[in-house]
Protein backbone atom coordinates (compact mmCIF):
# COMPACT_ATOMS: atom_id res chain seq x y z
CA UNK A 1 0.00 0.00 0.00
CA UNK A 2 2.82 2.41 0.83
CA UNK A 3 4.50 1.83 -2.54
CA UNK A 4 1.17 2.14 -4.39
CA UNK A 5 0.37 5.48 -2.72
CA UNK A 6 3.94 6.64 -3.30
CA UNK A 7 3.43 6.30 -7.06
CA UNK A 8 0.08 8.13 -7.25
CA UNK A 9 0.22 11.95 -6.93
CA UNK A 10 -1.15 12.81 -3.49
CA UNK A 11 -3.00 15.82 -4.99
CA UNK A 12 -5.63 13.40 -6.31
CA UNK A 13 -6.71 12.74 -2.73
CA UNK A 14 -8.04 16.28 -2.43
CA UNK A 15 -10.81 15.51 -4.94
CA UNK A 16 -11.85 12.55 -2.77
CA UNK A 17 -11.92 14.50 0.51
CA UNK A 18 -15.70 14.90 0.84
CA UNK A 19 -16.47 11.44 -0.55
CA UNK A 20 -13.92 9.93 1.83
CA UNK A 21 -15.37 11.39 5.00
CA UNK A 22 -18.93 10.50 3.96
CA UNK A 23 -17.85 6.90 3.30
CA UNK A 24 -16.06 6.86 6.66
CA UNK A 25 -19.29 7.94 8.38
CA UNK A 26 -21.12 5.16 6.54
CA UNK A 27 -18.59 2.56 7.74
CA UNK A 28 -18.85 3.86 11.31
CA UNK A 29 -22.63 3.41 11.17
CA UNK A 30 -22.28 -0.17 9.85
CA UNK A 31 -20.45 -1.08 13.05
CA UNK A 32 -23.76 -0.91 14.96
CA UNK A 33 -25.79 -3.01 12.48
CA UNK A 34 -26.29 -6.62 13.68
CA UNK A 35 -24.77 -9.18 11.33
CA UNK A 36 -22.27 -6.67 9.95
CA UNK A 37 -20.72 -5.10 13.02
CA UNK A 38 -18.85 -7.26 15.49
CA UNK A 39 -19.37 -6.69 19.22
CA UNK A 40 -16.71 -7.66 21.77
CA UNK A 41 -17.30 -7.87 25.53
CA UNK A 42 -14.62 -6.75 28.00
CA UNK A 43 -13.94 -7.27 31.68
CA UNK A 44 -15.27 -3.77 32.24
CA UNK A 45 -18.74 -5.15 31.49
CA UNK A 46 -19.16 -3.15 28.29
CA UNK A 47 -19.72 -4.25 24.70
CA UNK A 48 -17.38 -2.56 22.24
CA UNK A 49 -18.65 -2.07 18.67
CA UNK A 50 -15.46 -1.35 16.75
CA UNK A 51 -15.21 -3.83 13.90
CA UNK A 52 -16.94 -4.85 10.68
CA UNK A 53 -16.82 -8.51 9.73
CA UNK A 54 -15.80 -9.03 6.09
CA UNK A 55 -15.71 -12.79 5.66
CA UNK A 56 -12.79 -14.10 7.74
CA UNK A 57 -11.38 -10.58 8.07
CA UNK A 58 -12.23 -7.66 10.34
CA UNK A 59 -12.04 -3.96 9.51
CA UNK A 60 -11.88 -1.21 12.12
CA UNK A 61 -13.72 1.79 10.59
CA UNK A 62 -12.38 4.24 13.18
CA UNK A 63 -8.89 3.67 11.75
CA UNK A 64 -10.17 4.39 8.24
CA UNK A 65 -11.92 7.49 9.59
CA UNK A 66 -8.60 8.92 10.79
CA UNK A 67 -7.23 9.04 7.24
CA UNK A 68 -10.52 10.40 5.90
CA UNK A 69 -10.49 13.17 8.52
CA UNK A 70 -6.87 14.04 7.68
CA UNK A 71 -7.57 14.39 3.96
CA UNK A 72 -10.78 16.35 4.59
CA UNK A 73 -9.13 18.75 7.04
CA UNK A 74 -6.15 19.31 4.72
CA UNK A 75 -8.52 20.13 1.86
CA UNK A 76 -10.64 22.39 4.08
CA UNK A 77 -7.74 24.37 5.56
CA UNK A 78 -6.12 24.80 2.16
CA UNK A 79 -9.31 26.49 0.92
CA UNK A 80 -9.55 28.61 4.09
CA UNK A 81 -5.95 29.72 3.60
CA UNK A 82 -6.84 31.18 0.19
CA UNK A 83 -9.73 33.27 1.54
CA UNK A 84 -9.07 36.89 2.44
CA UNK A 85 -11.83 37.02 5.05
CA UNK A 86 -13.07 33.94 6.89
CA UNK A 87 -16.77 33.21 6.37
CA UNK A 88 -17.81 31.19 9.42
CA UNK A 89 -21.07 30.12 7.73
CA UNK A 90 -19.03 27.96 5.35
CA UNK A 91 -17.70 26.04 8.34
CA UNK A 92 -21.14 24.74 9.38
CA UNK A 93 -21.15 21.62 7.17
CA UNK A 94 -17.49 20.71 7.90
CA UNK A 95 -18.13 21.06 11.64
CA UNK A 96 -21.24 18.85 11.41
CA UNK A 97 -19.34 16.18 9.45
CA UNK A 98 -16.45 16.16 11.92
CA UNK A 99 -18.79 16.09 14.91
CA UNK A 100 -20.63 13.13 13.37
CA UNK A 101 -17.36 11.21 13.04
CA UNK A 102 -16.31 12.06 16.61
CA UNK A 103 -19.69 11.13 18.13
CA UNK A 104 -19.88 7.80 16.25
CA UNK A 105 -16.37 6.85 17.36
CA UNK A 106 -17.12 7.92 20.92
CA UNK A 107 -20.26 5.76 21.00
CA UNK A 108 -18.39 2.61 19.79
CA UNK A 109 -16.68 3.41 22.23
CA UNK A 110 -13.11 4.25 21.15
CA UNK A 111 -12.06 7.09 23.43
CA UNK A 112 -8.39 6.86 22.41
CA UNK A 113 -9.17 7.31 18.71
CA UNK A 114 -11.46 10.22 19.60
CA UNK A 115 -8.53 11.87 21.39
CA UNK A 116 -6.34 11.37 18.33
CA UNK A 117 -8.86 13.09 16.06
CA UNK A 118 -9.31 15.96 18.53
CA UNK A 119 -5.54 16.46 18.68
CA UNK A 120 -5.42 16.50 14.88
CA UNK A 121 -8.15 19.15 14.69
CA UNK A 122 -6.36 21.28 17.31
CA UNK A 123 -3.09 20.81 15.44
CA UNK A 124 -4.62 22.00 12.17
CA UNK A 125 -6.14 25.04 13.88
CA UNK A 126 -2.75 25.90 15.40
CA UNK A 127 -0.94 25.49 12.05
CA UNK A 128 -3.57 27.71 10.45
CA UNK A 129 -2.42 30.51 12.73
CA UNK A 130 -5.01 30.47 15.50
CA UNK A 131 -3.36 31.89 18.68
CA UNK A 132 -2.06 29.21 21.04
CA UNK A 133 -3.39 31.19 24.01
CA UNK A 134 -6.95 30.90 22.68
CA UNK A 135 -6.50 27.17 22.08
CA UNK A 136 -5.29 26.78 25.66
CA UNK A 137 -8.33 28.66 26.97
CA UNK A 138 -10.63 26.47 24.85
CA UNK A 139 -8.92 23.38 26.27
CA UNK A 140 -9.39 24.56 29.85
CA UNK A 141 -13.05 25.41 29.20
CA UNK A 142 -13.62 21.89 27.78
CA UNK A 143 -12.21 20.15 30.89
CA UNK A 144 -15.66 19.86 32.57
CA UNK A 145 -16.97 18.07 29.45
CA UNK A 146 -14.04 15.65 29.54
CA UNK A 147 -14.72 15.01 33.22
CA UNK A 148 -18.38 14.23 32.46
CA UNK A 149 -17.40 11.86 29.62
CA UNK A 150 -15.19 9.96 32.06
CA UNK A 151 -17.30 10.14 35.23
CA UNK A 152 -20.65 9.25 33.65
CA UNK A 153 -19.34 6.20 31.76
CA UNK A 154 -18.58 3.31 34.10
CA UNK A 155 -15.69 1.64 32.31
CA UNK A 156 -13.84 4.94 31.75
CA UNK A 157 -14.21 5.86 35.42
CA UNK A 158 -12.93 2.41 36.36
CA UNK A 159 -9.90 2.83 34.11
CA UNK A 160 -9.01 6.08 35.86
CA UNK A 161 -9.38 4.41 39.27
CA UNK A 162 -7.11 1.55 38.13
CA UNK A 163 -4.59 4.05 36.75
CA UNK A 164 -4.47 5.97 40.05
CA UNK A 165 -3.87 2.80 42.11
CA UNK A 166 -3.05 -0.18 39.83
CA UNK A 167 -1.69 -2.36 42.67
CA UNK A 168 -5.06 -2.23 44.41
CA UNK A 169 -6.56 -3.94 41.34
CA UNK A 170 -3.50 -6.05 40.45
CA UNK A 171 -5.48 -9.31 40.33
CA UNK A 172 -8.11 -8.04 37.85
CA UNK A 173 -8.32 -4.74 35.95
CA UNK A 174 -4.89 -3.55 37.12
CA UNK A 175 -3.09 -6.71 36.03
CA UNK A 176 -2.03 -5.23 32.67
CA UNK A 177 -0.43 -2.14 34.15
CA UNK A 178 1.29 -3.95 37.03
CA UNK A 179 2.69 -6.57 34.64
CA UNK A 180 3.87 -3.79 32.33
CA UNK A 181 5.74 -2.17 35.24
CA UNK A 182 7.39 -5.51 35.99
CA UNK A 183 8.43 -5.90 32.35
CA UNK A 184 10.20 -2.54 32.43
CA UNK A 185 11.93 -3.50 35.69
CA UNK A 186 12.93 -6.99 34.50
CA UNK A 187 14.36 -5.59 31.26
CA UNK A 188 17.17 -3.84 33.12
CA UNK A 189 19.76 -2.10 30.98
CA UNK A 190 20.19 -4.63 28.18
CA UNK A 191 17.11 -6.88 28.32
CA UNK A 192 16.66 -10.64 28.55
CA UNK A 193 16.57 -13.61 26.24
CA UNK A 194 13.96 -12.95 23.53
CA UNK A 195 10.37 -13.92 24.38
CA UNK A 196 11.37 -15.60 27.64
CA UNK A 197 10.20 -13.04 30.19
CA UNK A 198 7.21 -12.87 32.51
CA UNK A 199 5.30 -10.37 30.34
CA UNK A 200 5.39 -12.65 27.30
CA UNK A 201 3.53 -15.29 29.30
CA UNK A 202 1.14 -13.28 31.44
CA UNK A 203 0.64 -9.80 29.97
CA UNK A 204 -2.66 -9.54 28.07
CA UNK A 205 -2.49 -7.70 24.72
CA UNK A 206 1.29 -8.07 24.85
CA UNK A 207 1.36 -8.12 21.03
CA UNK A 208 -0.90 -5.08 20.52
CA UNK A 209 -1.47 -2.20 22.96
CA UNK A 210 1.23 -3.32 25.43
CA UNK A 211 3.83 -4.52 22.94
CA UNK A 212 6.25 -1.84 24.16
CA UNK A 213 6.39 -3.50 27.58
CA UNK A 214 7.50 -6.82 26.09
CA UNK A 215 9.93 -4.96 23.81
CA UNK A 216 11.61 -3.32 26.83
CA UNK A 217 11.65 -6.66 28.67
CA UNK A 218 13.54 -8.15 25.70
CA UNK A 219 15.86 -5.23 24.84
CA UNK A 220 16.12 -3.28 28.10
CA UNK A 221 16.46 0.42 28.79
CA UNK A 222 19.09 0.84 26.06
CA UNK A 223 16.71 -0.65 23.51
CA UNK A 224 13.88 1.55 24.79
CA UNK A 225 15.94 4.75 24.43
CA UNK A 226 17.14 3.66 20.98
CA UNK A 227 13.54 3.15 19.93
CA UNK A 228 12.55 6.62 21.22
CA UNK A 229 15.51 8.16 19.37
CA UNK A 230 14.46 6.52 16.08
CA UNK A 231 10.85 7.67 16.54
CA UNK A 232 11.93 11.26 17.22
CA UNK A 233 14.30 11.14 14.25
CA UNK A 234 11.45 10.01 11.98
CA UNK A 235 9.04 12.68 13.25
CA UNK A 236 11.44 15.64 13.28
CA UNK A 237 13.08 14.78 9.95
CA UNK A 238 9.65 14.36 8.35
CA UNK A 239 8.44 17.68 9.76
CA UNK A 240 11.61 19.39 8.50
CA UNK A 241 10.78 18.17 4.98
CA UNK A 242 7.06 18.95 5.32
CA UNK A 243 7.88 22.60 6.04
CA UNK A 244 9.49 22.83 2.60
CA UNK A 245 6.42 21.56 0.72
CA UNK A 246 5.12 24.26 -1.63
CA UNK A 247 1.52 23.02 -1.84
CA UNK A 248 -0.68 24.01 1.17
CA UNK A 249 -2.74 20.82 0.84
CA UNK A 250 0.41 18.71 0.96
CA UNK A 251 1.74 20.65 3.95
CA UNK A 252 -1.46 20.27 5.98
CA UNK A 253 -1.88 16.60 5.04
CA UNK A 254 1.73 15.74 5.89
CA UNK A 255 1.61 17.68 9.15
CA UNK A 256 -1.65 15.94 10.06
CA UNK A 257 -0.11 12.51 9.49
CA UNK A 258 2.79 13.44 11.76
CA UNK A 259 0.39 14.67 14.44
CA UNK A 260 -1.48 11.34 14.35
CA UNK A 261 1.71 9.25 14.48
CA UNK A 262 3.21 11.45 17.20
CA UNK A 263 0.02 11.31 19.26
CA UNK A 264 -0.12 7.51 18.97
CA UNK A 265 3.51 7.10 20.00
CA UNK A 266 3.20 9.46 22.98
CA UNK A 267 -0.11 8.12 24.32
CA UNK A 268 0.92 4.48 23.92
CA UNK A 269 4.23 5.07 25.72
CA UNK A 270 2.45 7.04 28.45
CA UNK A 271 -0.09 4.22 28.91
CA UNK A 272 2.40 1.36 29.28
CA UNK A 273 4.50 3.42 31.72
CA UNK A 274 1.48 4.46 33.81
CA UNK A 275 1.61 8.17 33.00
CA UNK A 276 -1.77 8.04 31.24
CA UNK A 277 -4.86 5.80 31.77
CA UNK A 278 -5.34 2.83 29.44
CA UNK A 279 -6.96 3.97 26.18
CA UNK A 280 -6.43 1.13 23.71
CA UNK A 281 -4.14 2.99 21.29
CA UNK A 282 -1.67 0.78 19.42
CA UNK A 283 2.03 1.51 18.86
CA UNK A 284 2.66 2.44 15.19
CA UNK A 285 4.95 0.08 13.20
CA UNK A 286 5.20 -2.33 16.15
CA UNK A 287 1.76 -3.40 17.42
CA UNK A 288 0.05 -6.33 15.75
CA UNK A 289 -3.26 -5.52 14.10
CA UNK A 290 -4.69 -5.60 10.59
CA UNK A 291 -6.50 -2.26 10.37
CA UNK A 292 -4.00 -0.24 12.40
CA UNK A 293 -0.96 -1.54 10.48
CA UNK A 294 -2.76 -1.01 7.17
CA UNK A 295 -3.61 2.61 8.00
CA UNK A 296 -0.08 3.32 9.26
CA UNK A 297 1.37 1.98 5.99
CA UNK A 298 -1.12 4.01 3.95
CA UNK A 299 -0.23 7.14 5.94
CA UNK A 300 3.48 6.46 5.49
CA UNK A 301 3.03 6.04 1.73
CA UNK A 302 1.22 9.38 1.52
CA UNK A 303 3.90 11.04 3.67
CA UNK A 304 6.74 9.78 1.47
CA UNK A 305 4.79 10.89 -1.60
CA UNK A 306 4.38 14.42 -0.21
CA UNK A 307 8.09 14.74 0.62
CA UNK A 308 9.32 13.71 -2.82
CA UNK A 309 11.99 16.07 -4.14
CA UNK A 310 9.78 17.61 -6.83
CA UNK A 311 7.24 18.68 -4.19
CA UNK A 312 9.79 20.44 -1.98
CA UNK A 313 10.80 23.16 -4.41
CA UNK A 314 14.43 21.95 -4.37
Residues in the chain with pLDDT values less than 70: 1-6, 39-47, 82-88, 131-132, 134-135, 143, 146-155, 309-314
Rounded distance between C-alpha atoms, residue 71 and residue 81, angstroms: 15
Q: How many CA atoms lie within 13 A of 174 on its CB side?
A: 16
Indicate the pTM of the whole model. Answer: 0.88
Q: Is residue 153 part of a domain?
A: yes
Angle at 152 between CA 147 and CA 155, to 5 degrees: 100
Does any domain span residue 243?
yes
For position 83, what pLDDT does the model report? Answer: 66
Residue 237 is predicted with a pLDDT of: 92
- pLDDT of res. 257: 94
Number of domains in the chain: 1
- Reported as a single tens digit per residue, the pLDDT across 256-301 is 999 999 999 999 999 999 898 888 788 888 887 778 888 888 888 8
Q: What is the DSSP letter of 168?
A: G
Residue 138 phi, psi (nearest 5): -60, -40
| Residue 145 covered by a domain | yes
144-156 tens-digit pLDDT: 776 666 655 666 7
pLDDT on residue 216: 92
For residues 2-34, one letter each, b for 16 or more C-beta atoms within 10 angstroms of the residue's C-beta and e for the rest, the string is: eeebbeeebeebbeebbebbeebbebbebbeee
- The pLDDT, as a whole number, for residue 137 is 74
Is 127 among the domain residues?
yes
Residue 228 lies in a domain: yes
Supply the range of the domain harboring residue 257: 1-36+63-312
Structural domain contains residue 56: no
Confidence (pLDDT) at 169: 82
* 20 in a structural domain: yes
- What pLDDT sits at residue 85? 61
Run of H or E residues at 38: strand 37-41
Identify any residues that bridge with 38 across adjacent strands, giving them in sequence order.
Answer: 51
Q: What whole-number distance in Å separates Cα of residue 241 and Cα of residue 147? A: 38
Asked whether residue 58 is domain-assigned, the answer is: no
What pLDDT shows up at residue 21? 95
The pLDDT value given to residue 157: 75
Pick left, alpha or beta for residue 280 (phi over 0 → left; psi -120 to 50 → alpha; otherwise beta).
left
Amino acid sequence: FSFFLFLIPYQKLEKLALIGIVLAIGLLILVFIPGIGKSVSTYYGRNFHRWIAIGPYQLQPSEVAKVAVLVYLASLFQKLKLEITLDYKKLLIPILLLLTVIVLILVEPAFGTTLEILFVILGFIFLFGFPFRNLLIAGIVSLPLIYILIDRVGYRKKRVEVWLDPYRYRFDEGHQLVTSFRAFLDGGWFGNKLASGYAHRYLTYSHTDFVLATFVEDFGFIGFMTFIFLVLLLLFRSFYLIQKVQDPFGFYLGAGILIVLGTQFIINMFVVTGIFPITGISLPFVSYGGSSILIVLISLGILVNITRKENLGL
